[in-house]
Amino acid sequence: MSMFYKWGAGRSPDHPVITEAYDEYLVTEDGTEIVDAAAGAAVVNLGHSLDGVAEVMSKQADRVAYVSTSHFTSPPVESLAEKLAGMAPGTLDNAFLVNSGSEAVETAIKLARDYHVARGNEAKETVIGRWQSYHGATLGALSASGNTGRRSIYKPLMADWPKLPPAYPFRWDHDGSPEEQAKAAAGELESLIKREGPETVAAFIAEPVSGSSIPAAHPHPAYYQEIRRICDAHDVLFIADEVMVGFGRTGERFACDHFDVVPDLMALGKGITAGYAPISATMVADHVVEALEAADHSFYHGHTFSGNPVSAAVADHVVDRYTDSLIESACARGNSLLAGLDPLAGSPIVGDVRGIGLMVGVEFVADTETNEPFDPDENVARRVYDHALDDGVYVYPGGGSVDGQAGDHLLLVPPLTVGEDAVDRIARTVVDSVDAVAGELGY
Ligand code: PLP
């Protein structure tokens, strides 16, 4: 294997080689089974043995595998767009299909700019994001992201857009009830817009429930209701990045549904095909499309593989599987997982365990009195990851949630179809692995 492939795919020589997978299990080349408590990267929401995908792919490849969306459309694209419009809240009825979560975010950012230009507001060009957020690896999406570790080396190449503190109730120092704290935190957006000059701000982007950077952190609904009010007051579009949390992960079809808020643009990816093919979508509200049409403004944007019929056919097959009853049972599994993690409340290195739907975040602290994070050089999350993997459970570790450097955590996002036995196993393994690492650290 060439070095280039190793770098490009993030592969290192000690990565296990997965030769098979079924349900919530990965199987290595030597036959070892690993419980996939991360659903890949919060992608394989329907497990590794979804029925009918191979048939859908091969039928579509036989019929028509590619047409340029600049000039043609195809039945799976039309069907998928209609289904997504039916699922998405409010008037997010217009789907722009691309290939990855990053591209869906890029599309939303560019569309926000087009919207303002079409309405004669040329100066609106700034996209406000939040610290400790992740919206994708491409330069526009990364400019809007606040994940220090993934940004720092590329800073000279990125747009210098301002950032709001994250929606991170565990570490807020606002006073009052959760609702009052949420309003105070959201109010910082208004101050920032005013400082920047509202006539220059095009959009605000956020993960409604935080994913890999501050796993499962979510504020009181008043936060997003206030965000919505502020965006409307200053003619700023609200972009919800639901790439990780869309399609039932948090217990509602879309995370925004928890907060009773409809964004102007919504980025979808990952679960849209549950990992069976690459495709993503930007859902666009009617008023955005109408503004472009009224100005006869074309959106010059797209990728060669946008709306690939084979991927669209897979997505068209997959999105039907996110039924209300699946989402309900996934929530029950999420509750079991949280209950199984109860012993972590007594751990000297765990500051917070939070969950929403089937999405759980475990945050490590060096001191449970002060919630001071560990020195990143201790590699606490990575050590827990290693222990868990040795015990046959794959979890999603991360760092930097507190200040971009410190703040170790785990994200647990097994497939929504995970069985109760596997949930027990995940919880027991995480508890044991955290105990083992606490011991190693001398607690
Ligand atoms: N947005 C969020 C919230 C994500 O979690 C990710 C990926 O992890 C992305 C965007 C980027 O998606 P992709 O890696 O498919 O480009």
User: What pLDDT score does 108 carry?
Assistant: 98
What is the token pair recorded at 435? Answer: 């105990």
User: What pLDDT score does 6 carry?
Assistant: 52
Q: Are the CB atoms for 69 and 304 separated by under 8 Å?
A: no
DSSP alpha helix (H) spans, 9-74: 39-42, 53-63
Give the Cα separation of 364 and 349 in Å (integer).
5
The packing angle between helices 324-340 and 420-440, to 10°, is 30
Give the Cα separation of 199 and 268 in Å (integer).
28
Give the Cα separation of 231 and 237 in Å (integer).
6
* Closest by Cα among 251, 257, 253, 247 to 279: 247
* Closest by Cα among 46, 201, 28 to 121: 201
What is the token pair recorded at 337? Answer: 């997982």
User: What pLDDT score does 16 carry?
Assistant: 87
Q: Does pTM surpass 0.95? A: yes
* Closest by Cα among 26, 65, 16 to 275: 26
- Ligand 1 centroid to Cα of residue 104, in Å, is 9
Q: Which of 45, 98, 100, 102 to mutate to test the pocket of ligand 1 (most atoms within 8 A of CB)?
A: 102
Taking the CA of residue 133 as reference, the ligand 1 atom at the shortest distance is 3
The packing angle between helices 309-319 and 75-87, to 10°, is 40
Q: pLDDT tens for the chain, 443 residues: list them.
A: 333 445 555 555 568 899 999 999 999 999 999 999 999 999 999 999 999 999 999 999 999 999 999 999 999 999 999 999 999 999 999 999 999 999 999 999 999 999 999 999 999 999 999 999 999 999 999 999 999 999 999 999 999 999 999 999 999 999 999 999 999 999 999 999 999 999 999 999 999 999 999 999 999 999 999 999 999 999 999 999 999 999 999 999 999 999 999 999 999 999 999 999 999 999 999 999 999 999 999 999 999 999 999 999 999 999 999 999 999 999 999 999 999 999 999 999 999 999 999 999 999 999 999 999 999 999 999 999 999 999 999 999 999 999 999 999 999 999 999 999 999 999 999 999 999 999 999 99
Output the CA–CA distances (angstroms, integers) from residue 295 to 234, 288, 298, in the order listed: 21, 11, 9
Give the Cα separation of 350 and 367 in Å (integer).
9
- Ligand 1 centroid to Cα of residue 259, in Å, is 21
The arrangement of strands across the sheet holding 393-394 comes to: 18-22, 25-28, 33-36, 393-394
User: What pLDDT score does 13 carry?
Assistant: 56
Rg (CA), the chain: 21
- Dihedral Cα 170, 174, 178, 184, nearest 10 deg: -120
User: What pLDDT score does 15 carry?
Assistant: 81
CA 380 vs. chain centroid, Å, equals 23
Cα Dmax for the chain: 66
Pocket of ligand 1 (CB under 6 A): 41, 100-102, 105, 134-137, 207, 211-212, 241, 243-244, 269
* Closest by Cα among 364, 349, 428 to 397: 364
Give the Cα separation of 434 and 408 in Å (integer).
12
**What 3-state class would DSSP assign to 359?**
coil
**Run of H or E including 350:** strand 350-355
Q: Which of 100, 139, 241, 244 to mutate to test the pocket of ligand 1 (most atoms within 8 A of CB)?
A: 244
* Closest by Cα among 200, 356, 278, 348 to 41: 278
- Ligand 1 centroid to Cα of residue 137, in Å, is 8
CB count within 10 Å of CB 443 equals 12
Using CB atoms within 10 Å of the CB of residue 414, give its burial: 0 to 12 exposed, 13 to 18 middle, 19+ buried. buried
User: What pLDDT score does 332 carry?
Assistant: 98
Number of residues that make up the chain: 443
Give the Cα separation of 135 and 216 in Å (integer).
15
- Residues 257-309 have pLDDT tens digits of 999 999 999 999 999 999 999 999 999 999 999 999 999 999 999 999 999 99
The residues, any chain, with a CB within 8 Å of residue 404's CB and separated by 6 or more, are 131, 132, 146, 147, 148, 149
